[in-house]
């Protein structure tokens, strides 16, 4: 795979955390996959952090079970 900005071959990427907002309000934890080259750092993709979502779901289930 090549970086669309610097056009160098990418064999791994860096992950950086960032908040995902909905209508200007922070809603989820997100991650950005970025080019690993220090002089580039182009964002390759952005997604909701799957580990944070899993943790949130488990937390909500436990809270609901405790209410019963």
**How is the chain split into domains, by residue range?**
14-67
Contacts of 61 (CB under 8 A, 6+ apart): none
pTM of the model: 0.73
Burial (CB count <10 Å: 0-12, 13-18, 19+), residue 7: exposed
Q: pLDDT digit string (tens) for 1-52?
A: 999 999 999 999 999 999 999 999 999 899 999 999 999 999 999 999 999 9
* Position 68 confidence tier, pLDDT thresholds 50, 70, 90: confident
**CB 13 within 8 Å of CB 31:** no
- Per DSSP, helices labelled H in the chain are 50-67
């Amino acid at each position: 795979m090549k970086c669309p900005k610097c056009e160098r071959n990418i064999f791994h990427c860096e992950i950086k955390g960032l908040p995902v907002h909905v209508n200007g309000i922070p809603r989820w934890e997100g991650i950005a996959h970025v080019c690993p080259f220090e002089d580039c750092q182009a964002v390759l993709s952005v997604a909701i952090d799957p580990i944070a979502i899993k943790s949130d779901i488990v937390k909500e289930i436990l809270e609901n079970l405790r209410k019963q």
